[in-house]
Chain A
């Protein structure tokens, strides 16, 4: 996480794992139907940094991930992602006709990994997310939490320097979420990739991130950044964590209050 400041200042852009958005705006539609999803977003995320992005509905956080992943192009500004980008979705989007192992293998296969190696590698990765005994099961035979762990193994198989997570735990219960926090944290610490973790849960953001970015809506923009140096592993119910989360919640509520009337009357 300290690698960011290593080399000469000018070379920072080409560092593997760095994600940089400069003056990024994204507009959907034309004329009256035009919606400004993002406006003037500047974000510089260091290699190995864990950044959480928090915001209400319509703040453009998913759009931001699509831009970072290269699935969409910004209307203006530049997005620089160095070292490959993997994306983890809210629903696991595992392919239902493949087993857990085959889902992970597909990511390896599309990277050109040979047959024997990918079989072995997929099993190792599934063991890493503690699914060693479920390699041959199909997605519908797994629980929601297990499916997201397969998705995490698939992300690891991509060996990207940057991992984007779009509310990956949104559909899980509190207990499973808690376990997933530990798991995501441990694989991140081991592999050292950069994470952008989108969530609407402020406690989750504070639990996981080195820095929480707060986004406002209409148009979507960055309104606050909260660095977090609490030692890891953190406990969801520790006082310091709860305080930081409360601060984020307060700022978020202020932001929502500004738009309250507008929200109700534009829909």
Chain B
């Protein structure tokens, strides 16, 4: 007992993972409230306005924030805007949903089979390093200029992140939980249902969040490249504005795209934070 030695013989059994709830230091209420966000907006607007005032580019190419907000108000009042936004959101939700289904299925299959995992793991990582916009020419060639080409690229962009979220989630499940599951008599699917999947949930959510970001980017790239007659979407509007030299409209649509992305991200963060709080991993 006086010699604190460790030997290999203890290792296989002594793999308890002490889940000491690492409490991040509680920042001041000020730093976590809405004030930093407001501050960020003010800084961006100020820089923008200063660049406009400097006269670097003429007003019709780079309008100031006031002009753009006025244009935004004008755009939002038109039913075409809402149709375009609606079409884009439907595509985003459908593409992301499909990516979640395929990514989750692939991730779970790969997590349960060592061979499949070795094969799919590197494939998924490889796919992730490839900018999804690269797939568009091929998608258009194979599927034509249409919805399916956009869906194809959105799913391809998002699914690897979702699958990765599943894989890293299952990897991070403490060995002690697997031992516990066996001691409690949870085998096979029940082990996954009651222990592995809930334990992997935070990682999975991270994968979903990242998958959404990729889906959104792929979709915007797709809508810039693929114009379907009679089905105008947000990205198309952006392209039109550039072609017509409508700088204020272009910036207004950029703001809309930014806000949609931020709202979705805030939604994911809220869910993730809530789950972490319930597990004692985050400060309330």
- By a beta-carbon cutoff of 8 Å, the part of chain A in contact with chain B is 26, 28-29, 33, 35-38, 56-58, 60, 62-63, 65-66, 69-72, 85-87, 89-91, 93, 95-97, 106-107, 109-111, 138-141, 158, 166, 171, 200, 217-220, 252-253, 256, 259-260, 263-264, 267
Contact = CB atoms under 8 A, between A and B. Distances in A.
Counting chain A CB atoms within 10 Å of each CB, which of B2, B13, B14 scores highest?
A: B13
A200 B3 CA distance: 12
Q: A62, A111, A218: which has the most chain B beta carbons within 10 Å?
A: A62
Given A35-B9, A62-B14, 4 more contacts: A62-B10, A97-B275, A218-B7, A264-B5
13 contacts: A35-B9, A56-B5, A62-B13, A95-B195, A95-B198, A97-B198, A97-B199, A106-B184, A166-B13, A256-B3, A259-B3, A263-B3, A267-B5
B2 A91 contact: no
A37 B9 contact: yes
Contacts of A86: 183
A57 B10 contact: yes
B6 A58 contact: yes
Nearest to B19: A96
Most buried by A among B5, B12, B182, B281: B5
B225 to A, nearest CB: 43
B4 interface: yes
Residue picked from B16, B186, B199, B280, most chain A C-beta under 10 Å: B16
B190 A110 contact: yes
A90 B179 CA distance: 13
Given A93-B177, A138-B280, A220-B9, A260 B3 contact: yes
B8 interface: yes
A253 B2 contact: yes
B194 interface: yes
Contacts of A57: 1, 3-7, 10
A198 to B, nearest CB: 10
B201 A110 contact: no
A36 B9 contact: yes
A37 B61 CA distance: 76
A89 B177 CA distance: 11
Given A138-B279, A140-B280, A28 B9 contact: yes
Interface residues of B, number: 40
Where chain A touches its partner, the secondary structure class is mixed
B184 A158 contact: yes
Contacts of A200: 1
Contact of B180 (A89, A90, A217, A256): A89
Contacts of B201: 97
Nearest to B181: A110
A91 B12 contact: no
Contacts of B1: 56-57, 200, 252-253, 256
Interface string B160-183: 000000000000001011011011
Contacts of B34: none
A260 B281 CA distance: 42
A18 B16 CA distance: 27
Contacts of B18: 91, 171
Nearest to A259: B3
B9 A60 contact: yes
A91 to B, nearest CB: 5
B279 A140 contact: yes
Contacts of B199: 95, 97
Contacts of A259: 3
A80 to B, nearest CB: 18
A253 B16 CA distance: 27
Nearest to B8: A35
Given A66-B12, A69-B183, A256 B280 contact: no
B10 A63 contact: yes
Contacts of A96: 19, 278-281
A29 B8 CA distance: 9
